[in-house]
Amino acid sequence: MANVTVVGEGTFEVEEGKKLVLALEDNGVNILHRCGGMARCTTCRVEVLAGDYNEVTNKEKNAFAEKGIDDQLRLSCQILVNGDVTVRPIMTVESSGIDAGPRPAD
């Protein structure tokens, strides 16, 4: 098990190998995922504050380029929890006023 800490929300345990977007949603963080976890909409962006995670995937790079986003964020639908991590969600239901979108596949 790994610990996922969400700024302003707390810490919870997650089984390793689970998609971060699902770990967040399953633990009460209303992160957006408007495209259903397909790395197209970029609404599931998080800032990774601590933790060792792989480089940005090509899917992420392409999605960010299409949307004109040039920052150091990650898509939570493309991150598998592989150890302890601290994140700050960028877009949530509460901050955006829109619904989360279809649940991403496991």
State percent of the chain over pLDDT 90. 76
pTM: 0.91
pLDDT at 77 exceeding the cut of 90: yes
Distance CA 106, CA 98 (A): 23
Mean pLDDT of 21-35: 96
Residue type, 43: T
Give the model's pLDDT for residue 65: 87
Mean pLDDT of 67-80: 87
Domain boundaries, the chain: 2-96
Tell me the fold of 2-96: Ubiquitin-like (UB roll) (3.10.20)
> What average pLDDT does the structure give for the chain?
92
The better pLDDT of the pair 97, 53 is held by 97
Mean pLDDT of 21-34: 97
Distance CA 81, CA 101 (A): 21
